[in-house]
């Protein structure tokens, strides 16, 4: 762990802090681009043009959140796309291991997968400066944005009980892959883990705190699964 000598004030004068924010925004930016691409791919499985349009509209609202992240990265670093590069592998792997096999899995991924990722970012942003936290919060899905997915899935499960069992397993897999890839990223990006451990500017988490964070993320995942009428 690097002991930061940075006192209160502009946290970006601390290169470790700045590096961590660049990393986090790089991951979020690439994650958004990537999620957009997958959602538009998955939309091809929609059973009707109306359903397809609903998923594409969700993808588009998410895409609109890429530009503020890219612009902020361009302020903080020379090449915003280079800042995204270290996260290609983990994010691409997440998507290739969770490629939906049908429309139902695509809908669950759109709601549950996006929710897990958003929860992690929300947790991490609590350790950051106000400007960065506001930017990250603005990239998270708005209330109600995935309502159509929830309604469709609930109706699907009501009509076919077996579907519920299959999608419950699918939700567990999404969570498992998200944890696996988060761990890969954490293991390889020191600045990011420094932030969680705290520096002189912002307080950090001890081991118990990290455990509590994972408990909160898991609890919210279980709540989302229950919203869908699925066991976790």
Q: How far apart are CA 138 and CA 189, in angstroms?
A: 24
User: Does 93 sit near its own copies (CB under 8 A)?
Assistant: no
Considering the complex, state which of residue 57 and residue 179 has its C-beta at the smaller distance from its own copies: 57
Q: Is 71 in the site for its own copies (CB under 8 A)?
A: no
CB of 147 to its own copies, least distance (A): 17
Max Cα-Cα span within the chain: 60
Residue 100 CB, nearest approach to its own copies (Å): 16
Nearest distance in Å: CB 86, its own copies = 12
User: Shortest Cβ distance from residue 172 to its own copies (Å)?
Assistant: 29
> Tokens 């802090």 label which residue?
17
Measured CA to CA in angstroms, residue 54 lies from 38, 45, 116 at distances of: 14, 12, 21
Residue with tokens 């954490």: 186
Per-residue b or e along 22-58, where b marks 16 or more CB atoms closer than 10 Å to that residue's CB: bbbbbbbbbbbbbbbebbeebbebbeeeebbebbbeb
Taking Cα atoms as reference points, which of 62, 84, 96, 122 lies closest to residue 181?
96
Distance CA 82, CA 70 (A): 11
Question: For the chain, how are helix, strand and coil distributed in percent, rounded to 5?
Answer: 80, 0, 20
Binding pattern for the stretch 123-152 against its own copies, x by CB under 8 A and - elsewhere: ------------------------------
- Piece in contact with its own copies (CB under 8 A), picked from 81-89, 100-108, 131-139, 162-170: 81-89
Quick check: 64 binds its own copies (CB under 8 A)? yes
Question: Is the Cβ of residue 114 or residue 123 nearer to its own copies in the bound state?
Answer: 114
Binding residue count for its own copies, defined by CB under 8 A: 24
217 binds its own copies (CB under 8 A): no
Q: List the structure tokens of 193.
A: 């883990």
* 68 sits near its own copies (criterion: CB under 8 A): no
Site for its own copies in 24-53 (CB under 8 A): 30, 33, 36-37, 40-41, 43-44, 48-50, 52-53
Question: What residues line the site for its own copies (CB under 8 A)?
Answer: 30, 33, 36-37, 40-41, 43-44, 48-50, 52-53, 56-57, 60, 63-64, 66-67, 70, 81, 84-85
């Amino acid at each position: 762990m690097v002991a930061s000598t940075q006192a209160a004030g502009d946290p970006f004068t601390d290169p470790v802090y700045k590096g961590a924010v660049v990393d986090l925004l790089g991951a979020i930016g690439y994650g958004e681009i990537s999620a957009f691409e997958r959602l538009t791919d998955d939309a091809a499985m929609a059973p009707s043009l109306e359903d397809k349009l609903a998923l594409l509209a969700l993808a588009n609202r998410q895409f609109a959140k890429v530009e503020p992240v890219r612009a902020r990265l361009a302020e903080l670093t020379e090449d915003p796309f280079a800042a995204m590069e270290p996260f290609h592998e983990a994010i691409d792997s997440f998507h290739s291991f969770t490629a939906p096999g049908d429309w139902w899995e695509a809908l669950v991924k759109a709601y549950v997968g996006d929710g897990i990722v958003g929860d992690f970012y929300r947790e991490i942003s609590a350790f950051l400066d106000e400007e960065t936290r506001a930017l990250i919060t603005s990239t998270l899905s708005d209330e109600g944005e995935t309502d159509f997915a929830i309604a469709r899935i609930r109706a699907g499960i009501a009509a076919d009980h077996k579907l519920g069992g299959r999608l419950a397993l699918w939700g567990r897999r999404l969570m498992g892959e998200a944890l696996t890839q988060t761990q890969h990223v954490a293991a390889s990006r020191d600045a990011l883990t420094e932030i969680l451990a705290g520096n002189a500017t912002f307080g950090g988490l001890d081991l118990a705190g990290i455990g509590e964070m994972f408990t909160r993320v898991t609890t919210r995942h279980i709540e989302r699964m229950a919203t869908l009428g699925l066991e976790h």
